[in-house]
Structure 1
């Protein structure tokens, strides 16, 4: 584990990054407006330079970055006397309305509702019960533990849209098993379980539409740009071969590269059974939550097939039941304290910035100035996917959040695909695939919050994580290309 910097030094470093972000914002605004870029587009690019610096440096919290973004956006929009297609220059109320537009997105409502569902799992203890049940049923040999860790990650991903919350629920169980076996906290088994927990989380972020905020950001932009989204079931089917393939790859890589060993199974099984017994019988609240969760999973999976109710509406219906008197499992006052509202605020602000990039023409200009110079319009669709995916994977090395990366990258990708000589549905599929690739946080611990949570246990080194992660990234990239010429064209996406 790296030695933490003294608070003064950390504070000074964060202040330096914050000042740099403000300087970059001011510098982009002060530059002559490039040919083909509107004044509003220049403001959008200045804001993009600002938030990318804030997100990469993590000099302020995600929620704070949303506040800074909104404030400076309003000041810049009214200071430049921009109209953004309004009949007259925006005043402060009009500019604020533009930057708060993301809060009205159905995707934001879905994220907030799903986070309440995650809180319900936590307050009832059902998340811990599920994890312990899976691990006691599967067993504690190295192979079985790896499969168990992935199974727990998959089940929790069905209902919890926060990678941090899912991993946070699983880590104590994994640490407890390692301790029960009498192994050190940095043993091969500990490293394997923590690496699998982090990487499996990224894999299931891709496989489950409601599993990650970046998916919903991507779909929100796609809905606005193309006039339609994709159902929960269609997303699941589209991502299924990738999810299964990467799960197998992760199993093999960790088994071969980290070589976990389990000296004796009895103690670990006894510990797991003891923890499960301590939870007592399934409570009434847990049963009611299970019923609501099963109903939601059924509604999500059959959207557009058995009923017309979209994912957001069905989630809100489930939330209504969870908060209802007597038949619910929690009260609003109990739940609101545990919802990570900063995630919701960042999510909404990211959508607002993406919308501004699109409305102002900045996304189109940036796409032409960057991706448009690569000659991709002359390539076949798989060549375009190869180039865009490589670009996204490299860009992710500088981001600690896939949510921030999606807010930055997806509007540019959408604008670029609209310049390609391909049908609208193919352009839709190209963006969907990039929505998958945005979650490729496999290479470094700093590439995703769940990676850092696992890294904080001290179970593995950066080199151990990277050994598995680099190979997983390369194989995942190849799998994306393979599915781009086989599975996704078969489904009509490409």
Structure 2
């Protein structure tokens, strides 16, 4: 029996839906890298530096579209550069040095990010979050606020905001904090009001609560250095490129006036611009009270966790001269392990922590490599020439606004930070008259609040966008309003305050 071409075509396996798109996403970073490698090296830049930049851009494209996990993309970039280090990482002068061992030096560079103190601080903060989750102390804090502030829709909005505020200093992942702790609690609330997702009744209260929750997550992510993982990455980049150290306390004080203003007014502003139909309900406090009764009294481990995180916070603020912040975090982790707040399996099984650890270690190495090969210095020189003749204040404001608005192009604050922060820092440093401490603080503290502008702008955004309570047109409209308001207040409140301080 003969098989015709038609029969073969009919029996051929059909690629699963989305398979072609996935292959396209996998090929895109490679294609971008190859195209840049084929572009002639710009004047004033060494060929090996341009080759490094081409691979770096490929990594950023991979982080934006994520055909594979971010850690895999970053590790791939580091490995490729290390393998071809003679053409990408080292200058001809370095290669000509007697006894210079290319393979050894390339490996040292490739793993350098894993020895970065900021990367370990991120890891430590993830362990704190694991403690909050395991002991249920985070859930208890949120339920207490709902119990006492949950009768009215407006005060319930404040309860959600304050719950995020309490958790933020100790949770470096706003996805874990808001999406993993806050959202599971407040998702139980709208049904008590007869408010259902993907239904006209969503506007009864569910839409308001979800919008307040994602907005609060963005605000608190800017308030605290340790409230958003890319904040810590930004800290490392600023130190490497500018040589400016930003402490936990410096960050907090710099954003404090704007942070307090936003925390106190945002739930009310959302109440006016996106009002819930239900204003009062007695069921929510009763539900929270019942949930708290199920939790019972503070457990031994909750009390120990509270003591440990307060000690860590005090060391981060007041003892940086005696103990490295990352070492303070590791000390607390050891104490949690010895006292049983966490066990070793909690450490080894925390996939999110290890994934972020590998991800950020590779990104730190890649960003540091840009400076190492001289690309950052060249970019700063070229960018500074473009802005020559302009008032330094105007140049700073233009760069800050551009940095903020370009977040529309990124689905990851980490990718945004890695791609644009070094460029902005280098360009600003090449312009005489710009107050670099203030400029650095403005760039870094904007990373959290800029996440509000799109449904993909920060980690928890897709969670709330997909909740069924925030229709697409409402999310984009509110994101534009709140995003532009946050940008305006950054310039009108935070900028003058930081100028006065530094």
TM-score (norm 1): 0.91
User: Could you say if the C-alpha distance between residues 9 and 24 of structure 1 is closer, same or farther in structure 2, counting changes exceeding 3 Å?
Assistant: same
Instruction: Verify the 8 A CA contact 2:384 2:431 in the aligned structure 1.
Output: no
Partners of 1:90 and 1:205 lie apart in 2 by 43
Partners of 2:92 and 2:439 lie apart in 1 by 28
Indicate the residue corresponding to 2:10 in structure 1: none
Match of 1:135 among 136, 143, 146: 146
Are 1:430 and 2:403 an aligned pair?
A: no
Instruction: Verify the 8 A CA contact 1:296 1:314 in the aligned structure 2.
Output: yes
Indicate the residue corresponding to 1:364 in structure 2: 377
Q: How does 1:196-275 map to 2 (within 5 A)?
A: 196-262=212-278, 265-275=281-291
Query: Once the 2 structures are TM-superposed, how far is the Cα of residue 376 of structure 1 from its aligned partner?
Result: 5.8
User: Could you say if the C-alpha distance between residues 485 and 121 of structure 1 is closer, same or farther in structure 2, counting changes exceeding 3 Å?
Assistant: closer
**Structure 2: tracts of 5 or more residues without a match:** 1-13
Partners of 2:197 and 2:314 lie apart in 1 by 40
Q: Which has the larger radius of gyration?
A: 2
Query: Once the 2 structures are TM-superposed, how far is the Cα of residue 451 of structure 1 from its aligned partner?
Result: 0.5
Q: Which shows bigger deviation, 225-234 or 213-222?
A: 225-234
Q: Residue by residue, what CA displacement relative to the aligned partner does 1:203-261 show, whole Å, maximum 9, x if unpaired?
A: 11111011111111111122223434122112111011121233345324311222113
Indicate the residue corresponding to 1:21 in structure 2: 29
SS in 2 for 1:449: coil
Q: How does 1:206-355 map to 2 (within 5 A)?
A: 206-262=222-278, 265-303=281-319, 308-324=322-338, 327-340=339-352, 341-355=354-368
Partners of 2:360 and 2:309 lie apart in 1 by 24
SS in 2 for 1:445: coil
Q: Residue by residue, what CA displacement relative to the aligned partner does 1:161-201 show, whole Å, maximum 9, x if unpaired?
A: 01110011111111111122222135122112112211211
Paired residue total: 479
Partners of 2:110 and 2:346 lie apart in 1 by 30
Instruction: Verify the 8 A CA contact 1:180 1:268 in the aligned structure 2.
Output: yes
User: Could you say if the C-alpha distance between residues 376 and 266 of structure 1 is closer, same or farther in structure 2, counting changes exceeding 3 Å?
Assistant: farther
Indicate the residue corresponding to 1:3 in structure 2: none
Indicate the residue corresponding to 1:60 in structure 2: 68
Instruction: Verify the 8 A CA contact 1:17 1:53 in the aligned structure 2.
Output: no
Partners of 1:248 and 1:454 lie apart in 2 by 22
Indicate the residue corresponding to 2:398 in structure 1: 387
Match of 1:473 among 455, 480, 483: 483
Instruction: Verify the 8 A CA contact 2:157 2:212 in the aligned structure 1.
Output: yes
Partners of 1:84 and 1:166 lie apart in 2 by 48
Are 1:74 and 2:82 an aligned pair?
A: yes
**Structure 1: tracts of 5 or more residues without a match:** 1-5
SS in 2 for 1:12: helix
SS in 1 for 2:78: helix
Partners of 2:331 and 2:158 lie apart in 1 by 33
User: Could you say if the C-alpha distance between residues 264 and 81 of structure 1 is closer, same or farther in structure 2, counting changes exceeding 3 Å?
Assistant: closer
Q: Residue by residue, what CA displacement relative to the aligned partner does 1:411-470 show, whole Å, maximum 9, x if unpaired?
A: 1122212211137xx213212211122331111111111101112221111221222221
User: Could you say if the C-alpha distance between residues 7 and 135 of structure 1 is closer, same or farther in structure 2, counting changes exceeding 3 Å?
Assistant: farther
Instruction: Verify the 8 A CA contact 1:377 1:420 in the aligned structure 2.
Output: no
Partners of 2:107 and 2:409 lie apart in 1 by 30
Partners of 1:7 and 1:431 lie apart in 2 by 48
User: Could you say if the C-alpha distance between residues 265 and 352 of structure 1 is closer, same or farther in structure 2, counting changes exceeding 3 Å?
Assistant: same
Query: Once the 2 structures are TM-superposed, how far is the Cα of residue 335 of structure 1 from its aligned partner?
Result: 2.6
Query: Once the 2 structures are TM-superposed, how far is the Cα of residue 339 of structure 1 from its aligned partner?
Result: 4.3
Indicate the residue corresponding to 2:194 in structure 1: 182
Query: Once the 2 structures are TM-superposed, how far is the Cα of residue 79 of structure 1 from its aligned partner?
Result: 4.5
Instruction: Verify the 8 A CA contact 2:254 2:441 in the aligned structure 1.
Output: no
TM-score (norm 2): 0.90
RMSD (CA atoms): 2.2
SS in 2 for 1:441: helix
Partners of 2:55 and 2:441 lie apart in 1 by 25
User: Could you say if the C-alpha distance between residues 313 and 376 of structure 1 is closer, same or farther in structure 2, counting changes exceeding 3 Å?
Assistant: farther
Query: Once the 2 structures are TM-superposed, how far is the Cα of residue 331 of structure 1 from its aligned partner?
Result: 1.1
Partners of 2:268 and 2:158 lie apart in 1 by 11
Indicate the residue corresponding to 2:16 in structure 1: 8
Q: Which shows bigger deviation, 7-16 or 277-286?
A: 7-16
Instruction: Verify the 8 A CA contact 1:364 1:412 in the aligned structure 2.
Output: no
User: Could you say if the C-alpha distance between residues 352 and 139 of structure 1 is closer, same or farther in structure 2, counting changes exceeding 3 Å?
Assistant: same
User: Could you say if the C-alpha distance between residues 225 and 373 of structure 1 is closer, same or farther in structure 2, counting changes exceeding 3 Å?
Assistant: closer
Partners of 1:412 and 1:55 lie apart in 2 by 17
Query: Once the 2 structures are TM-superposed, how far is the Cα of residue 278 of structure 1 from its aligned partner?
Result: 1.2
Instruction: Verify the 8 A CA contact 1:410 1:431 in the aligned structure 2.
Output: no
User: Could you say if the C-alpha distance between residues 358 and 264 of structure 1 is closer, same or farther in structure 2, counting changes exceeding 3 Å?
Assistant: same
Q: Which shows bigger deviation, 280-289 or 263-272?
A: 263-272
User: Could you say if the C-alpha distance between residues 373 and 476 of structure 1 is closer, same or farther in structure 2, counting changes exceeding 3 Å?
Assistant: farther
Instruction: Verify the 8 A CA contact 1:51 1:69 in the aligned structure 2.
Output: yes
